[in-house]
Amino acid sequence: MSQRKKIKALLESTETNVEITVKGWVRSFRNNQFIALNDGSTNNTLQVVVDFENTDAALLKRITTGAAISATGLLVESMGKGQRVELKAKEIEILGDCDPESYPLQLKNRPSLEFLREIAHLRFRTNTFGAIFRVRNSLSFAIHQFFQERGFVYLHTPIITASDAEGAGETFHVTNFDLANPPKTDTGEIDFSEDFFARPTNLTVSGQLEGELGAMALSDIYTFGPTFRAENSNTTRHLAEFWMIEPEMAFYDLNDNMDLAEALLKYVIKYALDKNADDLAFLSQRLAEEEKQKPQQDRSEMSLIEKLEFCLNNDFERLTYTEAINILKESTPNKKKKFQYLVEGWGTDLQSEHERYLVEKHFKKPVILTDYPKAIKAFYMRQNEPDANGNETVRAMDILFPGIGEIVGGSQREERLDRLEKRMDEMGIPKEELWWYLDTRRFGACPHAGFGLGFERLVLFVTGMGNIRDVIPFPRFPKNAEF
């Protein structure tokens, strides 16, 4: 029996008149004669030509959209237009039937993304989702390669933690209790001392604090794993379970941190452009067609590929929060009161519309905002000296991407024990619980920095998709944990 070949390889090969075997799923069966076969190695299909006059009618009937088949025959130059090579089948075997009456995925119907979300177990079989998940795979691999090339250590931080580290974000509780009848203390409260971990625990909202511990010995580490937030967020940019990349680097300041983040983003985008040219061309085309439905002024000036290349070829705009506020104050939409939230004073957080104005209208490229007001940022960020106006800021940086908003959030960390403890007191962060974190500031503390990159937001940007639920295989969001 001839060896099975992947369709991607066959379509790229120049060798013809050789006997090969392909296995895959039928995308369409035209004219009782032409099977468009896909095996997920590429979006393109191999045309398998069936000699229908000499094939059992019962077998022909079983070649239906979605059926898994094996085909063996000669790879020949195609007699028809539209493809270079095709497989002249000598033998067709049905590996798995697919009942056309009940199979929900009929591609000719142009199913909507919303419908495909309901059949997420089958949506991998569409061109769009095939492309998305191959790109997601490449980005994932490129992230590891980027850090590995630079000597970073991939550190596995815990999924179950006892600390709600940043105090930000609702957590999912982890317990082994019988929820109908948990042990109670004398005062009627739930007695966690009898639970599996003998204390309240939750799914991690960030691996950062543990990451810092690693960096204080290994110099440069990164995490890449799932993260959980139990917030009731219903947006196109949030998930209850998402993947995050969190590097942490000893002896880095904020500028080093920004340089690394920018280099990482450019590296992985370049990698996808090189490795997934076909998939991105398809997704670019898909986006262009979607944009045609929009009114002229809402359409993007650049195609997806152009946007990605633009990102590679331009430095991200770096400015401080204070500079951004001044630009926004003087901006046309602010003066004409077009913003829903007008920018008046210093100190409040930027709204989505403000970030969007800076990125999409003013600079028209990725923007890195630094030195945010201390009051609106986490306790562990390094405190700057107050400026001439007495404004207090921290060494934070957020990278804002067009259409996505915040894709990276990071900072130089506060390494000075006294400043850190004072800030924790002010913000009501329990120092006793984080004794291990504070130990790094007691024993050989050094300047260090890190950031978090939302992986799905990156995939969203690179694929040009509009909803984060479409770039993770099985999205978790409020009221939904199907599959």
Partner RNA sequence: UCCUGAAUAGCUCAGCCGGUUAGAGCAUCUGACUGUUAAUCAGAGGGUCGCUGGUUCGAGUCCAGCUUCAGGAGCCA
Residues 374 to 393 in contact with RNA, rule: CB under 7 A? 376
Among 454, 459, 461, 471, binds RNA (CB under 7 A): 454
Q: What 3-state class would DSSP assign to 256? A: helix
- Rounded alpha-carbon distances, angstroms, from residue 220 to 20, 146, 152, 255: 48, 13, 5, 16
Q: Does 468 bind RNA (CB under 7 A)?
A: yes
Q: How far is the CB of 114 from RNA (least distance, A)?
A: 5
Give the separation between CA 131 and CA 123, rounded to whole angstroms: 11
Which one of residues 82, 151, 295, 345 is an interface residue with RNA (CB under 7 A)? 82
> Toward RNA, which CB reaches closer, 182 or 347?
347
Q: Looking at 13, 21, 33, 175, which residue binds RNA (CB under 7 A)?
A: 33
The site map against RNA for 240-279 (x = CB under 7 A) is: x-x-x-----------------------------------
Among 15, 17, 101, 298, binds RNA (CB under 7 A): 101
From residue 76, alpha-carbon distances to 22, 42, 87 in Å are: 14, 20, 6
Name which of 166 and 421 has its Cβ closer to RNA.
166
Q: Establish if 233 lies at the interface with RNA (CB under 7 A).
A: yes
Q: In terms of CB distance, is 280 or 453 closer to RNA?
A: 453
- Which of 3, 15, 30, 301 binds RNA (CB under 7 A)? It is 30
Told to check if 55 binds RNA by CB under 7 A, we report no
**Tokens linked to 201:** 């625990």
Q: For the chain, what is the largest distance between any 2 Cα atoms, rounded to a whole number of angstroms? A: 88
Q: How far is the CB of 148 from RNA (least distance, A)?
A: 22
Count of residues engaged in binding RNA, rule: CB under 7 A? 71
Question: Considering the complex, what minimum distance in angstroms separates the CB of residue 84 from RNA?
Answer: 11
Q: Which stretch binds RNA (CB under 7 A): 97-105, 210-218, 300-308, 367-375?
A: 97-105
Structure tokens at 161: 């933690």
Among the listed residues 229, 266, 395, 441, the single contact to RNA using CB under 7 A: 229
20 binds RNA (CB under 7 A): no
1 binds RNA (CB under 7 A): no
Candidates 3, 14, 31, 313; binder of RNA (CB under 7 A) is: 31
Q: Could you tell me the two tokens for 280?
A: 């991105």
Task: State yes or no: residue 232 binds RNA (CB under 7 A).
Answer: yes
Closest to RNA by CB, 28 or 137: 28
The interface with RNA within residues 358-377 (CB under 7 A) comprises 376
Asked if residue 83 binds RNA (CB under 7 A), the reply is: yes
**Interface stretch with RNA, choices 162-170, 262-270, 295-303, 424-432 (CB under 7 A):** 162-170
Contact with RNA (CB under 7 A) among 236, 274, 312, 473: 236
Q: 476 with 240: CB under 8 angstroms? A: yes
CA distance from start to end of the chain:
37
Instruction: Give the whole-angstrom CA distance, residue 27 versus residue 69.
Output: 11
Distance CA 286, CA 132 (A): 12
Structure token pair of residue 41 = 């190695």
Burial annotation 56-75 (CB, 10 A radius, 16+ → b, else e): eeeeeebbbbbbebbbbbbb
CB 371 within 8 A of CB 393: yes
**What does the chain come to in residues?**
483
- Residue 295 binds RNA (CB under 7 A): no
Asked if 292 touches RNA (CB under 7 A), the answer is: no
Taking the complex as a whole, the smallest distance from the CB of residue 115 to RNA amounts, in Å, to 3
3-state secondary structure of 161: strand
Buried b (16+ CB within 10 A) or exposed e, 451-483: bbbbbbbbbbbbbbbeebbbbbeebbbeeeeee
Residues 18, 89: Cα–Cα separation, whole Å: 12
Partner residues linked to 242 by β-bridges = 227
Quick one: which of 79, 184, 125, 217 has its CA closest to 473?
125
CA–CA separation, 62 vs 66, rounded Å? 10
Interface residue with RNA, options 65, 138, 171, 201 (CB under 7 A): 65
Nearer to RNA, 236 or 332 (CB): 236
Given the complex with RNA, which of 76 and 153 has the nearer CB atom? 76
Q: Segment near RNA (CB under 7 A), from 83-91, 153-161, 175-183, 269-277?
A: 83-91
Pairing status of strand 201-203 against strand 173-174: antiparallel
Q: Is 34 in the site for RNA (CB under 7 A)?
A: yes
